[in-house]
Structure 1
Amino acid sequence: MKKIVLSAFAFLFLFSCSNDETSTTTEEKTLVTHDHRGCASHEVYEEQLRQNPELAQKMEQIERFTEEAIRNNTAKLVNGKIQIPVVVNVLYKTAAENISLTQIQSQIDVLNKDFNATNSDFNQVPAVFSGVKANVGISFVLDAVYRKSTTKTSWGTRDAMKKSAQGGLNPTSPTTKLNLWVCTIGGGILGYAQFPGGSSATDGVVIDSRYLGTTGTATAPFNKGRTATHEVGHWMNLRHIWGDATCGSDLVSDTPSHNTANYGIPAFPHYSTCTGTPIEMTMNYMDYTDDAGMYMFSNGQKSRMLAIFASGGARNSFAQP
């Protein structure tokens, strides 16, 4: 297992997760569909940093708080429970993009299962990881659904969908409600999330309508709602399990070092090429496997997520009664 390392995380601010490779611009992209996930996180980070040069320092402050909360055992649930209201903002051009309430609720159901270890595939976690598999204990409730017809074919990753002035929908009460935008992103992108520490005006998660929930327009192999589980993990301050670098650190102590992202559904055991050649936790939600191939968080990831809801944490307002 790897050590937690305080690294330069500025390049990790905003994760933009996609199927396969994307182009080198974050402008509106041509709709593309591929068969595995990929990421354009560095280009999105560069744009965020240009807009807010102080972002890197703020992220470092959040990381220091997170490490201290975990060390002092204050990274735990307030009153044993956190329930997060979710506002879903649907932006559609076609009838298919105007997804049903049933499809939206199916995604809320998946989040509740995945974050409470009641997902039916949780029992598939290999014995080698049974001691670290986690019940995060955070629940989600659908608070509201807002819909808006648009003329846009795709939205890109510049947060236009989050801004009424650019044809999107402004977030609703983003300091106490998780805003989730559903739209056609383009470029084969499944979704992306904003880490704690960014502007409340753009805070939340974006998911392409073809990869949300388990019914309706949900498209295999990303039709089990795990894109949102992955992105909400980012929203709760989790990094990709390979640390976005060869044998990088995800700042979690109980996840094995991964040499890079995994795709599809790797056969178990899948060994890393990193020091010690550990068995990789390919079934972790923060890898890039297909929806059917990911089904666990670790205890270390749980502590990291709960730290942001602790007193003084970046998302403590969500934990208030």
Structure 2
Amino acid sequence: MKKVIITTFAALMLFACQNEQSESTNPETAIASRRGCATQEVLEAQLKADPMLAIRMNEIETFTAKHGGSNFTGRLVNGKIEIPIVVNVLDRTAAQNISDAQIQSQIDVLNKDFNALNSDYNNVPALFSGVKANVGITFKLDQIIRKSTTKTSWGTNDAMKKTAQGGIAPTSPTTKLNLWSCSIGGGILGYAQFPGGASSTDGVVIDSRYFGLSGAANAPFNLGRTGTHEVGHWMNLRHIWGDATCGSDLVADTPTHNEENYGVPAYPHYSTCSGNPVEMTMNYMDYVDDAAMYMFSTGQKNRIAAIFTSGGARAAFAQ
């Protein structure tokens, strides 16, 4: 288990998403064979546009270190924070115009995965059974907004969030989680904005082919876990390998990973980092296939709790 070290450098650099995936030249039909997101390049662009972002992110890390493990406070539904979700659908084709049922299936996956109700939760190995966690946050569909587009792919410059660029601006982003479903291109399954970024671009983007359980969703990313992974980022979780060789995800109870894992790793998968720990490849914040990820840890739950507690970066969601 790793020691958590909070520094400004960590606050900035531990967000990197490896873009190691294969995709053919047609972004509307190609299916990514490896999980990939664009968080790092998006973060770099945001840092250039907003020099104060680095300071805000470091302040969030300092707050998290002090308040990790705090109980949720404020507005609760059945004892849990309930997050309203606005889904913004941008479609050029019929397949991209995902159905209400497919959208609801993504909400259902989030509710299961963040409440340890997923059927594969019991697959967590005995080694990690003592730290597997029920995060205890629920989600409800608040609104669906649809817009037709002529764009073949939207890329990763947040254009899908900007009306002036043909996208859909977020709805009440300080109190509602906005999801965008669209064709991203470049082999990117999705990306999220971490706490501290501008409210005008806050939320999660998921390629329509990997949104929820049905319709256009495709294996090996057809179980809605792209949504779970990216919402985890939105809640301030890092990649489990710390986006560096033997890096830190700022969580004490997750083993140190060499790097990201892909596919369906055989268990146990040992790290060559100090102590040779068994890697927690089944964690939602690794890069494995949807079918191979099925747990959050207690330390991750505590990091999430910090941003929703009074004074936290997303405390407005609990008011």
Query: Residue in 1 aligned with 2:146?
Result: 147
Deviations 1:201-253 (A, max 9, x none): 00000000000101110000000000000000000000000000000000000
The equivalent position to 1:74 in structure 2, one of 66, 70, 79, is 70
Contact kept in structure 2, 1:155 and 1:185, CA below 8 Å: yes
Q: Note closer, same or farther for the CA distance 1:185–1:240 as it changes in structure 2 (3 Å cut).
A: same
1:180 is paired with a residue of what secondary structure? strand
- Counterpart CA distance in 1 for 2:137 and 2:41 is 31
Q: Give the ranges of 4+ consecutive aligned residues of structure 1 lying more than 4 Å apart after TM superposition.
A: 15-19, 29-32
Contact kept in structure 1, 2:39 and 2:193, CA below 8 Å: no
Displacement, 1:55?
1.1
Q: Map 1:217-228 onto structure 2 (within 5 A).
A: 217-228=216-227
2:191 is paired with a residue of what secondary structure? strand
The equivalent position to 2:59 in structure 1, one of 54, 58, 61, is 61
Which letter does structure 1 place at the counterpart of 2:153?
S
Query: Residue in 2 aligned with 1:26?
Result: none
Contact kept in structure 2, 1:16 and 1:189, CA below 8 Å: no
Displacement, 1:155?
0.2
Q: Note closer, same or farther for the CA distance 1:172–1:184 as it changes in structure 2 (3 Å cut).
A: same
Query: Residue in 1 aligned with 2:96?
Result: 97
Q: Tell me, yes or no, if structure 1 residue 45 matches structure 2 residue 43.
A: yes
RMSD: 1.7
- Counterpart CA distance in 2 for 1:124 and 1:257 is 21
Query: Residue in 2 aligned with 1:88?
Result: 87
- Counterpart CA distance in 1 for 2:173 and 2:186 is 27
- Counterpart CA distance in 2 for 1:62 and 1:75 is 17
Displacement, 1:119?
0.2
- Counterpart CA distance in 2 for 1:121 and 1:249 is 26
Contact kept in structure 1, 2:92 and 2:152, CA below 8 Å: yes
Q: Map 1:1-321 onto structure 2 (within 5 A).
A: 1-7=1-7, 8=9, 9-12=11-14, 20=21, 32-70=30-68, 73-76=69-72, 78=74, 80-320=79-319
Structure 1 unmatched runs, 5+: 23-28
Which letter does structure 1 place at the counterpart of 2:289?
D
Q: Note closer, same or farther for the CA distance 1:17–1:143 as it changes in structure 2 (3 Å cut).
A: farther
Deviations 1:117-150 (A, max 9, x none): 0000000000000000000000000000000000
Displacement, 1:54?
1.5
2:308 is paired with a residue of what secondary structure? coil
Contact kept in structure 1, 2:161 and 2:201, CA below 8 Å: yes
- Counterpart CA distance in 2 for 1:308 and 1:155 is 30
Contact kept in structure 2, 1:16 and 1:193, CA below 8 Å: no
- Counterpart CA distance in 1 for 2:44 and 2:121 is 37
1:38 is paired with a residue of what secondary structure? coil
Which letter does structure 1 place at the counterpart of 2:60?
I
Which stretch of the first structure deviates more once superposed, 311-320 or 30-39?
Answer: 30-39
Count of residue correspondences: 311
Which letter does structure 1 place at the counterpart of 2:53?
L
What's the TM-score, normalizing by structure 1? Answer: 0.93
- Counterpart CA distance in 1 for 2:275 and 2:17 is 30
Deviations 1:74-133 (A, max 9, x none): 254555310000000000000110000000000000000000000000000000000000
- Counterpart CA distance in 2 for 1:148 and 1:275 is 50
Q: What percent of counterpart residues are identical?
A: 69
- Counterpart CA distance in 1 for 2:83 and 2:142 is 9
- Counterpart CA distance in 2 for 1:229 and 1:213 is 10
Contact kept in structure 2, 1:310 and 1:316, CA below 8 Å: yes
Contact kept in structure 2, 1:19 and 1:35, CA below 8 Å: no
Which letter does structure 2 place at the counterpart of 1:143?
D
Contact kept in structure 2, 1:161 and 1:181, CA below 8 Å: yes
Structure 2 unmatched runs, 5+: none
